[in-house]
Amino acid sequence: MVAAVVQLNSGENRARNLARAEELVRRAAGHGAALVVLPEKFNRLGRPEFVARNAEPLDGPTITWARELARELAIDLVAGSILELRPGARPANASVHVRPDGEIGAVYRKVHLFDVDVGGASYRESDTEAPGDEAVVSKLVDGTKLGLAICYDLRFPELFRELALRGAEVIALPAAFTVPTGRAHWQVLLRARAIENQVFVLAAGQVGEHPPGLASYGHSLIVDPWGAVLARVAAGEGVAGARLDRDLQRQVRARMPVLEHRVPSVYRSLTSARRATP
């Protein structure tokens, strides 16, 4: 299977964002990609309050666009993420897997919200967004199991291990990583999550400046289960694709069966407490 990640510089203009996303998705499909992953908030990225005011339901314009495009191109499309409008609740940062028939395969709502201070900027996603509460594994048209995560989730190995234990063989990670954290941690964390769970990681990032003057790191990557970087988009908007060698994955898992060597009885504190005792 050939897979591709799309790197975008999204702003607050949804029409412009979708037009550019469509151009790059079509380019990826034209080069044989059967699975394409878009970045976090690919349809609208900017001032948190503005993006929240323009949240959309899953039957709104963006996911309707994604469903029509996936059906036309006959691809599995991970529609990055959008802010999902939900009656009676704050919006959720939702990643949507659309199957080649245009139907929604799965919806994952970001569990870990980015409430941090980094690079001289303060981020408080919880001011405008509500967290999800469930790990999600979908299935591609060829039967491959697809795990879903979003951006800051990358720092929580427990979520990725849960996806692997539920059978995920490929994990899609739409992101808008900050420049300071991207420079320091992006590639090493992606490779670590791929290695420790013996999965392919498809990380599609935002790049460049967005309102209100913040910037995303880019460097979208495809990483294999041995930790090798198969493809990357180093700078600017673009597409990177690679063939996912499932035989290699089976060999890695057979020769080094880390998932079978787990000792859950030793890890019980991970499920009994939210935070470690100081």
As a whole number of angstroms, the distance between CA 54 and CA 56 comes to 6
Tokens of 226: 């041995």
Catalytic member of 110, 129, 169, 237:
110
Handedness of CA 40, 43, 45, 49 (dihedral sign): negative
Three-state DSSP class for residue 209? strand
Q: What is the dihedral of CA 206, 207, 210, 215, to 10 degrees?
A: 110
Is 110 a catalytic site residue? yes
- What are residue 121's DSSP bridge partners? 118
As a whole number of angstroms, the distance between CA 8 and CA 208 comes to 8
CA distances from 76 to 14, 33, 277 (A): 22, 9, 43
Question: CB neighbours (10 Å) of residue 152?
Answer: 23
As a whole number of angstroms, the distance between CA 33 and CA 262 comes to 34
Catalytic member of 129, 151, 169, 237:
151
Nearest to 12 by CA among 47, 39, 49, 59: 47
- Give the distance between the most distant pair of CA atoms in the chain: 54
Is 151 a catalytic site residue? yes
Report the first-to-last Cα separation within the chain, whole angstroms. Answer: 46
As a whole number of angstroms, the distance between CA 274 and CA 131 comes to 15
Residues annotated catalytic, as ranges: 40, 110, 151
